[in-house]
Amino acid sequence: MKKKFFIITTVPDSFIFFKGQIQILKKIFDVEMVSSPGKNFEIFCKEEGVIGHKIKMNRGISLIKDIKSLINMSVLFYKNKPSYIHGNTPKAGLISMIAGWILRVPHRIYYIHGLRYEGELGLKKRILIFMEKASCYFASDIFAVSLGIKQKVIKDRITSKKINMPTNIKFISNDDHI
């Protein structure tokens, strides 16, 4: 039986970044997608032949709505028992990493595509930096999309954990190697 691999984004428009990758992952894992409801959600899941789970996540900062999303994500993980979660986008990354940590998902991959706090000022910037640090703290593995992002995360002291690059990914077998 294949292990479950959940790919989580805040909005389904971000699924496009996984086009082509899902079929490779499906050779080793049962891949399932998690995102807020939205245009093309069902179409993408049908085209890729994967199960989709809708969990409403606000892109903005909203404590009450974010707690509700965290509870719903935790329930989803509890019911489905994924072995791997792959959190993408700032909000989905934060919510999935916390829920995965609470439920002891063995492999919690946080993939940093960009840094939302760049260009912000004051309290909002501090909140966004805290969210980024929390996502990294609760992740078991961190990947940066580029060397520039990796260097910025190190410079800004977002985490002291190792930050991998996409070339470090090694899905050798079902033996839980990354």
Sequence ranges of the domains in the chain: 3-168
pLDDT mean over 141-162: 91
Q: At residue 69, does pLDDT exceed 90?
A: yes
Amino acid residing at 104: R
Amino acid residing at 8: I
Query: Which of 84, 70, 99, 89 is closest to 141 using CA atoms?
Result: 84
Residue range 71-115, pLDDT digits in tens: 999 999 999 999 999 998 889 999 999 999 999 999 999 999 878
What is the greatest pairwise CA distance in the chain?
A: 49
Residues ≥6 apart with Cβ < 8 Å to 48: 18, 19, 22, 23, 31, 33
Query: Which of 20, 34, 18, 25 is closest to 2 using CA atoms?
Result: 25
pTM of the model: 0.89
Q: Answer left, alpha or beta for residue 152, where phi above 0 means left and psi between -120 and 50 means alpha.
A: alpha
33 burial via Cβ count (<10 Å: 0-12, 13-18, 19+): buried
In the block, residue with structure tokens 């509890």: 78
Residue range 20-64, pLDDT digits in tens: 889 999 999 999 999 999 888 999 999 999 999 999 999 888 899
Residues ≥6 apart with Cβ < 8 Å to 15: 7, 9, 33, 35, 40, 41, 44
Class of domain 3-168: alpha beta
Q: At residue 178, does pLDDT exceed 50?
A: no
